[in-house]
Amino acid sequence: MSMRHRYRHPGLNLTDTPDEHLAKNETTIFGFWVFLMSDLIFFGLMFAIYITSIGATAGGPRPHELFDFTSLAIQTVLLLTSSLTVGFASLVLKFDAKSGNLIVWLLVTLLLGLGFLFFEIRDFIEIAAKGGVPSRSGYLSAFYGLVLLHGLHVAMGCLWLVVIMIQIQVFGLINVVTTRLIRFALFWHFLDLIWIGIFSVVFFGGLHFG
């Protein structure tokens, strides 16, 4: 392996030395990364639709009447912190896999993810109470479409994480399970990237241009 390409795949690399699983893992993780890029386009289009619909409130409530920025800040911090805790989990996996800390960090991540969802859903309920429902306008359709899509991804991520935690208990850290964990970490970081776009474009963009 040349020095130049020491990273065999995106995300934390568990080892620098080749072993029998490495080539196969590299393939699996690369495949997942390709999927994420396809998903990225999906999100990109929803962003584009949102941008084109920003004026389409059709007399319904406008963004600045709907958004709760305190809650937005809380959600942002929760998600960002969960990205860090996934990182911690990956580090435990790499350096200290035998210890019980792995499950602890994964659990913390799960709780942070659920916390994020809690605030997001609470916001949706409040927005709906102010008359901001998707059937009200093209703008609100685009808003819900994009933010819900992200939320759905987070929810799927939580479910996936639960499955992985169970599999760690059942099988221990066999190769199949650890690559799943690495892929999960990629997925989770990816959702944080998307979230940067959401608070910048959807919330701030909506506030200032809507």
Binding to another protein (CB under 8 A) within 95-114 occurs at 95-96
Q: Which span (23-31, 105-113, 121-129) binds another protein, by CB under 8 A? A: 23-31
Does position 197 bind another protein by CB under 8 A?
yes
Residues in 47-76 at the binding interface with another protein, rule: CB under 8 A: 47-49, 51-53, 55-58, 60, 69, 73, 76
Shortest separation between residue 1's beta carbon and another protein, angstroms: 10
Does position 12 bind another protein by CB under 8 A?
yes
Q: How many residues bind another protein (CB under 8 A)?
A: 88
Q: What is the torsion angle, in degrees rounded to the nearest 10, for the CA atoms of residue 28, residue 32, residue 33 and residue 39?
A: 170
Distances (CA, A) of 198 to 43, 168, 169: 10, 33, 35
SS3 8: coil
Spatial separation of the C-alpha atoms in residues 191 and 83, rounded to whole Å: 9
Spatial separation of the C-alpha atoms in residues 88 and 121, rounded to whole Å: 27
Close Cβ partners of 157 (under 8 Å, ≥ 6 residues apart): 113, 184, 187, 188, 191
Among 103, 104, 128, 176, binds another protein (CB under 8 A): 176
Spatial separation of the C-alpha atoms in residues 159 and 165, rounded to whole Å: 10
Does position 35 bind another protein by CB under 8 A?
yes
Shortest separation between residue 103's beta carbon and another protein, angstroms: 18
Q: Which span (20-28, 103-111, 112-120, 124-132) binds another protein, by CB under 8 A? A: 20-28
